[in-house]
Structure 1
């Protein structure tokens, strides 16, 4: 029987979320997560997927996953340090290191797991972490697992980062000091100022850590934000995901051989969680090969993103400060943002509202994620819905 205390707590909290317009309804898909999706018997133009390059449904990845599953089975059977490391895992990690331009790489079960693993394996009591105030939740949680002092700096404010780095170093209170940032910020689409961060880090002997979940497969010829700025030899930790542009699931850390060896020896998700399944690993290997051989998918992604952004701006919407395919449509008020998203849904466009606590209060937006698979016709259909719903709700004139 459920605890009365627990039941009362849950009901009160859930009702409060619903009253404030912050309760998130989960809509199951009735087919693949492509540019058009099917839910509740209807088709929608899909602008909420992280499947940037369309690889999640690419036949080449599907075939690779099926072949590996037939050969190796559906699961790896153990953690990596016992006998869960397959030849496929080694092949993937070697391919990732070559792609990222680093000495080595290690794969994890998710990008979220990477931040749980890497930060806590290196930072501890007596250390300090300088963290951008808009860093992803997984970075925040990874920092919480350490006993290090977490010092937040204003978003992409390099003067603030430099001041706090100087204070932390000159205080003599800390051993290791890490500067940690997203490469691409997922809610606004802006890019971290990595050249400045690298320069500040070298001035104050900071460890540099970049979570490039939304830059992987998108920037730097697909190799990410660090490669985009030509900083592969100046960033200590490159975190990437295999769950977004790569099209499968998982994550990785790329860096020096010593960094990777240490994570294999001390990062808890590597030591205590079953390895990625063979089919997934084979699909990731295939995807990395595709990204190495051609930039066609990335080019199409950027073309579609520019088309959608221009269309939204022509209608009168603000798309914020994005510099990537992530295209927010800024609304502000949480309740109005939710209503706008609901109207888009009624018009056959699936574009989710992003509100507090995912973003600061008063900065609600509908986040659009165009992909390489979208056609101009699909994007025109979405823009028509934006115009109609925006006009009805008084968001544009």
Structure 2
């Protein structure tokens, strides 16, 4: 190895460890359900994005296997050569119907969606108004576009209006986009889309909503745009197929013209092999389940409200979450890491989230209850939270 590279890695890895910022990856031994096994121990799982429990659903497993038997394990090419199977077209029609738009395009991941769609529409002559707490994939997608990035104070419509006015009236930019998460994954709050749409109409902004944590969760499962009834007002809806949907991939939904453009200009679509057919079949099955019944959605919210109330009663700082996402904000990074470690030792897996994912001094253990959890599991988790919280002085 290069001596310069070796020195760089030694110094910086040790610095992360000293600051409590080094993330240890702990493999899950088996399925990622409400109970997981790590290092031979069964733990109550409060760190999964598998909101509706569909990642381990038996019906979806059967659909996946059947599609593998019919199509094989891979698509065999990029979408623009001969990797577009008839099942991909069926999925995109179903996604458009699910999101209430004219059309949709599927990608290999949610991260890929933001890298693809933002840079396909925006360029160095444009400007992007971006909420300051937007996900890393939005930030990277904005950077890749080359557009001027203008940070907007979190959920502050007055600041959005002032910066939209300045950007559009400056004459410096060809197009101006406002981009926001639908549900903010670290705090669990929901974007003020009605306020944003009002500003966007006034200044003719392109509107883009990353609904990775809203699809399947808000709007009775149809997402945050549906929650507010704004399907005809938001230009670009992005979502993942790996969280509430339980499989893998992502999509962008919008007008037919937008999707036609993304199919010829979004680089991950052009240069990456398509989503495997087994996964596509499982995704469609998941969308059918979410559309047919709100049972899983309702159970998710019931469990989220139950856990949130229990943690708040114990005295934990859970922020201002409006969704099942429930952070326990600890603050100092090393204490946050220690808190998460002690939870695991007692039987709860709730991963610590520290800088750079969240600002320094706001370290937290983020809880993600799912529709698959039972009340008994959540009660056991609350007892462990109480024990560890008092032991470490986080609560009285």
Residue matched to 2:258? 259
Equivalent residues in 2 for 1:83-94, closer than 5 Å: 83-94=82-93
- Runs of 4+ residues deviating >3 angstroms: none
Residue matched to 1:33? 32
Displacement after TM superposition at 1:304 (Å)? 0.3
Residue matched to 2:69? 70
Q: Partners of 1:280 and 1:181 in 2: how far apart? A: 28
Between 333-342 and 113-122, report the one with greater CA deviation.
333-342
Equivalent residues in 2 for 1:2-151, closer than 5 Å: 2-151=1-150
Displacement after TM superposition at 1:80 (Å)? 0.3
Residue matched to 1:369? 368
Equivalent residues in 2 for 1:316-327, closer than 5 Å: 316-327=315-326
Structure 1's unaligned 5+ residue stretches are: none
Displacement after TM superposition at 1:113 (Å)? 0.1
Residue matched to 1:293? 292
Displacement after TM superposition at 1:196 (Å)? 0.5
Displacement after TM superposition at 1:146 (Å)? 1.3
Q: Partners of 2:125 and 2:262 in 1: how far apart? A: 20
Q: Partners of 1:396 and 1:275 in 2: how far apart? A: 49
Displacement after TM superposition at 1:335 (Å)? 1.1
**Counterpart of 1:92 in 2: which secondary structure?**
helix
Residue matched to 2:224? 225
**Counterpart of 1:56 in 2: which secondary structure?**
helix
Displacement after TM superposition at 1:126 (Å)? 1.2
**Counterpart of 1:298 in 2: which secondary structure?**
helix
Residue matched to 1:200? 199
Displacement after TM superposition at 1:226 (Å)? 0.2
Q: Partners of 1:158 and 1:333 in 2: how far apart? A: 31
**Counterpart of 2:217 in 1: which secondary structure?**
coil
TM-score using structure 1 length: 0.99
Displacement after TM superposition at 1:338 (Å)? 0.8
Q: Partners of 1:101 and 1:253 in 2: how far apart? A: 12
Q: Partners of 2:255 and 2:362 in 1: how far apart? A: 39
Q: Partners of 1:381 and 1:169 in 2: how far apart? A: 54
Q: Partners of 2:363 and 2:290 in 1: how far apart? A: 34
Q: Partners of 1:147 and 1:63 in 2: how far apart? A: 44
Displacement after TM superposition at 1:57 (Å)? 0.2
Displacement after TM superposition at 1:257 (Å)? 0.2
Deviations 1:59-82 (A, max 9, x none): 111000000000000000000000
Residue matched to 1:385? 384
Deviations 1:206-236 (A, max 9, x none): 0000000000000112110000000000000
Displacement after TM superposition at 1:147 (Å)? 1.6
Displacement after TM superposition at 1:195 (Å)? 0.4
**Counterpart of 1:145 in 2: which secondary structure?**
helix
Q: Partners of 1:86 and 1:126 in 2: how far apart? A: 36
**Counterpart of 2:150 in 1: which secondary structure?**
strand
**Counterpart of 1:38 in 2: which secondary structure?**
strand
Q: Are 1:331 and 2:330 matched, yes or no?
A: yes
Q: Partners of 1:147 and 1:134 in 2: how far apart? A: 20
Q: Partners of 1:41 and 1:108 in 2: how far apart? A: 35
TM-score using structure 2 length: 1.00
**Counterpart of 1:124 in 2: which secondary structure?**
coil
Q: Partners of 2:26 and 2:336 in 1: how far apart? A: 18
Between 110-119 and 334-343, report the one with greater CA deviation.
334-343
Q: Partners of 2:44 and 2:304 in 1: how far apart? A: 14
Q: Are 1:187 and 2:186 matched, yes or no?
A: yes
Residue matched to 1:214? 213
Superposition RMSD on alpha carbons, in Å? 0.5
Displacement after TM superposition at 1:122 (Å)? 0.4
Equivalent residues in 2 for 1:304-323, closer than 5 Å: 304-323=303-322
Residue matched to 2:395? 396
